[in-house]
Chains A and B, each alone.
Chain A
Amino acid sequence: MKIYIPCDAAALAMGAEKVARAIESQLKARRIDAQIVRNGSRGLLWLEPLVEVETTEGRIAYGPVTAESVAGLFDAGFAKGGEHALRLGVTEEIPFLKMQERLTFARCGITDPLSLADYIAHDGYRGLERALKMEPPAIVEEVANSGLRGRGGAGFPTGIKWRTVLNAKADRKYIVCNADEGDSGTYADRLLMEGDPFVLIEGMTIAGIAVGATRGYIYIRSEYPHAFRTVQKAIAIARDKAYLGPSVAGSGKAFDLEARLGAGAYICGEETALLESLEGRRGQIRPKPPLPAIEGLFGKPTVVNNVISLATVPIILNKGAQFYQDFGMGRSRGTLTIQLAGNIKHCGLVEKAFGLTLREAIYDFGGGTATGRPLRAVQVGGPLGAYFPESLLDTPLDYEAFAAKRGLVGHGGIVVFDDTADLAKQARYAMEFCAIESCGKCTPCRIGSTRGVEVIDRILTNQERSRNLQLLDDLCETMVDGSLCALGGLTPYPVLSALQYFPDDFRKPAPAPQDADASQEISSWR
């Protein structure tokens, strides 16, 4: 008999370690013979720690389990799937999970993240097996035909990036995984690296073989120490079993990997800053061109892809481009890993074909706000994403549909705010965050963000209100047009959307009667 207790950081943050100790001591005291497996998270995060027991009916879930509830669970026959207030039934039948389309996250939470045998038993390394029988250009075309687009936020077609690197001539090429998941409200990369690291390793190996790269790096942010340790261990295991090294799976083709730790700089999620950081320098962005696909890490052609993009490659190779292409809408093919965060009742990971609306994500999956108060604003895509009001909730989660509303799907994080939120404060914070995290390369971002905080402060204290609103508008326009990367270029989006949709929040403490409506004064935004 097996009992599954997640080792994911979110489960640990809610006491999974204490729960594991309590379960161990109950098993001993009651002389029950059971094996404890530390699995990844199923992504039903509001139920963490979610403990599962293997029974003849399937895996039965209990959650959220606390150390204090463990003795009572055993009294209720938990080891045999017995009835209890915390019993959630067969895990796969929980609606939040049953309504999903898990492709990239197919194994996450089911297996022991560091068991290669488990990985292989659950369809692991089938994509690589097929890739090794193909010519490299055919692998690249398979990825291109799947319609996969970069899941880090920019949505650039992965196959085109790979094709550029494949066609570049060089003595050395690199695969770099961007695991600097810094956007608030996102945790899909972390969940995957902690719950199914071999799928990322397999995806990077396929990428290496496809474009002719022999070396890869996974750049993981330092705020994710658990993910870093898990990935490091998984790399060592894969190398030990010859899935990495001079002859990958006996193919004669070389590919090896190293995990590297970031050092607390949001900007290193930008691909060129990440490359600078990997090379041992300040994380300052590089102007493009040259594209990293031509001159990337150490000046060599480099594929830089997000964790989810790379981890999706194995299923595309295993099941074929058409299988993946059949999910999604418009030009957004496949699945999006939506992360419900902030003030949401049922927070967790939802993998679903593109096209689900924001409302469906927040209400059908998320169950509305955690506080039970009315929803006021939603920020999708991290700190550079626009704040949407209730009236935009029917926007489908699709790159183009969001862009049309001046929004950003980004990495798929959805942060919900209830009616206590002050959007002027959020707008000010967006500028403040940009000031703290700017790499300093471009003046509009480095200086503009600090000036932005000051201008918003003047608006909020009604100092020359109209003039300062105009100034903020000009400043935002300069940042959008004059910054080299998305940090300076997109920070205006949360600011101006807050101003457009929530103008009343900018009228404190006492509005001057002659003032025009703030949203009417913003011209460049429209």
Chain B
Amino acid sequence: MSQIQAFDADRALARIQELKHLDGALLPILHALQDEFGYVDEVAVPLIADALNISKAEVQGVVSFYHDFRPLPPGRHVLRLCRAESCQSMGCDKTIAHVERRLGVKLGETTPDGAFTLRDVFCLGLCAHSPAAMLDGEPHGRVTPQVADMLIESAGRRQ
């Protein structure tokens, strides 16, 4: 996730200006900001509200509604473990408990060294290879505790 840049209000504004002409531009704008900075900084909220001529509360309401949009920067790696029914039927609970123990954080948290953000996800559409996971946007199937260890180690080496 090396392409992520530190938040910069001028660059945020440039992205907002590029996209504000779209019909229903708010989600595309929020995605663009999160792709660029890794999260939606609160400083961007009034900028978006101003560009789209809506209230700050409306923007904030949308940011907080969707599970994807983060108000704070994530860790260097984001590991998402699926905990929906198909993955439950193949023992995702074991994998999740193992990863939580290993990283010392719960789902939804970031390790103190900023290396990993652990998140749950409800279905990646990889239900034929449950339990499934996504590490930095790449899909992984049959994620047993051992496979999870390998993923964490290889990501740790990449930094």
Contact = CB atoms under 8 A, between A and B. Distances in A.
Interface of A: 9-10, 12-14, 45-46, 48, 181-187, 189-190, 222-226, 260-266, 277-284, 298, 339-343, 347-348, 370, 379, 382-383, 413, 415-418, 421, 426, 429, 433, 436-437, 439
A187 B67 contact: no
Interface string B91-135: 000000000000000000000000000000111111111101010
Given A342-B90, A416-B89, A12 B31 contact: no
Given A9-B126, A9-B139, A418 B66 contact: no
Interface string B78-92: 000000111111100
A413 B123 CA distance: 12
Q: Which of B67, B86, B122, B128 has the most chain A CB atoms inside 10 A of its CB?
A: B128
Contacts of A190: 125
3 pairs of A and B residues whose beta carbons are closest in the complex: A280-B26, A184-B84, A347-B128
Nearest to B65: A282
Interface of B: 23-28, 30-31, 52, 58, 61-62, 65-69, 84-90, 121-130, 132, 134, 137-142
A525 to B, nearest CB: 20
Contact of A341 (B23, B128, B137, B140): B128
A12 B88 contact: no
Given A182-B122, A415-B85, A263 B129 contact: no
A281 B132 CA distance: 30
B30 A13 contact: no
Contact of B138 (A12, A279, A339): A12
A226 B123 contact: no
Contacts of A185: 84-86, 123, 127
Contacts of A282: 61-62, 65
6 contacts: A45-B129, A261-B28, A263-B27, A278-B27, A347-B128, A415-B85
A347 B139 CA distance: 17
A52 B59 CA distance: 49
A370 B52 CA distance: 52
Contacts of A48: 128-129
Nearest to A45: B128
Contact of A421 (B68, B89, B128): B89
Contact of A298 (B23, B52, B86): B23
A280 B122 contact: no
B140 to A, nearest CB: 5
A433 B121 CA distance: 11
Contacts of A263: 27, 30-31, 66-69
A173 to B, nearest CB: 14
B86 A342 contact: yes
Given A265-B65, A281-B26, A383 B85 contact: yes
